[in-house]
Amino acid sequence: MHSHRLAAMPRGMTSPIAKPWINAIHAYTPGKAKSDDGRVLIKLSANENPLGCSPDASAALVEARGTLARYPDPASNNLRDALGKTYGLEADQIVCGTGSDELLNLIAMGYAGAGDEIIYIRYGFSVYDIAARKCAATVVVAPDKDYGTDVDALLALVTDKTRVVFVANPNNPTGTYCNDAEIARLHAGLPADCVMVLDQAYGEYLDDDGPAAFDLARKHDNVLITRTFSKIFGLAAERIGWAYGQPGLIATLNRIRAPFNVTAAGQAAAIAALGDTEFVTQSRAHNAQWREWMASEFAALSNHGLKVIPSWANFLMVMFEGKLSAEDAYKGLMDAGYIVRWLPGQGLGSGLRITIGSEDENRGVMAALRAILERQA
Ligand SMILES: Cc1ncc(COP(=O)(O)O)c(C=O)c1O
């Protein structure tokens, strides 16, 4: 019966066709760990913590393996309590996610659809583009200012269709930081029904941990802060992120998130990681020390046309404006055993993003780069 009815219907298509706005998406390109010919490389391409994670977190993760047959706590209650205590926030205004990636996608889905607009800067985090397109929203890309957030440029693009503005602060891939006064000015210029997302994946690398963002989210019902355990806490493999905002915003994300979106092991590891403040302090200090060292090394190579963009995160974006191109440097570093990030697809074909690694990795990648420059001279 069914087949008869279907056969009578003119379909005209022989295989499923994805929606045009889905077909327009360029899938996320992850930081590589291997060379094009399959060699395992020293990975400075994904902004992971070179010190690993807290030993307390790995111990908690191993212990949580004992309960594999049970679903995790769907509300991540203990983790949200621990986050509330650590950051001085209301636990019921926090939602946890499968990495902050999940939450960024949910924010777009919850507040924008066909005919709505989502704005971010040209060198913003690449997931914003996917998150916006996925829900059929129109992507509006603002120009940057010195590779970072330009508040006036963002505000100039706001229309009555704008529903979400994404700002990574510090920004990935450029490492730039937009100060509190500028962020407050951006917020003040946005319509009340537009969600301002402050993506603070690298917030813990700031000297003061960026508390002004939380204050803004506490005071206004259109501000969401997203954070992650993938960076300073070194738990990228477990996929744990969280968002903080007013109850209305958090209720939206809870309505559409996956029910069991953070694993039991992930919740346990994250709670233990929050408890090991020494590891976080040590990671922040390591990053500050070696970021400064790397930046001064790059500055010393300015005669070769290298220009380093000041960074507030755990990586540096270096522009190659001399004889050696970023592409050739990228390939040369790969030959020497280092994988960094080259992002021509994001309009950054003349730059390389290099994660701050261990002392050996930092010294090694700089020596390799110097050797490439010498060979070329
Ligand atoms: C700015 C920014 N936001 C969000 C994320 C996503 O992190 P995760 O999904 O691991 O929490 C990243 C990861 O690189 C990032 O750089």
Structure token digits, residue 94: 């926090």
Give distance in angstroms: CA of 289 to centre of ligand 1. Answer: 23
Residues of the chain with pLDDT under 50: 1
**pLDDT at site 123:** 95
Question: Which ligand 1 atom is the nearest neighbour of the CA of 228?
Answer: 11
Of 204, 267, 273, residue with least CA distance to 232: 204
Copy the structure tokens of residue 229.
């355990």
Atom of ligand 1 nearest to the CA of 231: 10
With a 6 Å cutoff on the Cβ, whether 199 touches ligand 1 is: yes
Sorted by sequence, the CB contacts under 8 Å of residue 356 that are 6+ apart come out as: 50, 286, 287, 290, 291, 294, 314, 315, 316, 362
- pLDDT tens readout for residues 96-141: 999 999 999 999 999 999 999 999 999 999 999 999 999 999 999 9
Residue 115 C-alpha to ligand 1 middle, in angstroms?
27
225 lines ligand 1 (CB under 6 A): no
pTM assigned to the model: 0.95
pLDDT digits (tens, 9 = 90+) for 130-139: 999 999 999 9
273 lines ligand 1 (CB under 6 A): no
Alpha carbon 295 to chain centroid, angstroms = 22
Q: Are 82 and 268 in contact (CB under 8 A)?
A: no
- Dihedral sign computed on CA atoms, order 70, 273, 107, 313: negative
Secondary element (H or E) of residue 339: strand 338-339
Given the CA of residue 230, which atom of ligand 1 is nearest to it?
10
Query: Which runs of E-coded beta strand occur in 133-248?
Result: 138-142, 162-168, 195-199, 223-228, 240-244
Query: DSSP strand E in 122-207: where?
Result: 138-142, 162-168, 195-199
Instruction: Confirm if 256 and 249 have CB atoms less than 8 A apart.
Output: no
The answer to whether the CB of 332 is under 6 A from ligand 1 is no
Pocket test for ligand 1, best of 53, 96, 100 (most atoms within 8 A of CB): 100
Instruction: Identify the pLDDT of residue 1.
Output: 46
Please answer whether residues 289 and 77 qualify as being in contact, where contact means their C-beta atoms are separated by less than 8 angstroms.
no
What structural domains and CATH numbers belong to the chain?
29-51+278-376 (3.90.1150.10), 55-275 (3.40.640.10)
CA-based Rg of the chain, rounded to a whole angstrom?
22
Q: Minimal CA–CA distance to 147: which of 296, 309, 295, 307? A: 309
> Structure tokens of 343?
């992002």
- Cβ atoms of 201 and 228 within 8 Å: the answer is yes
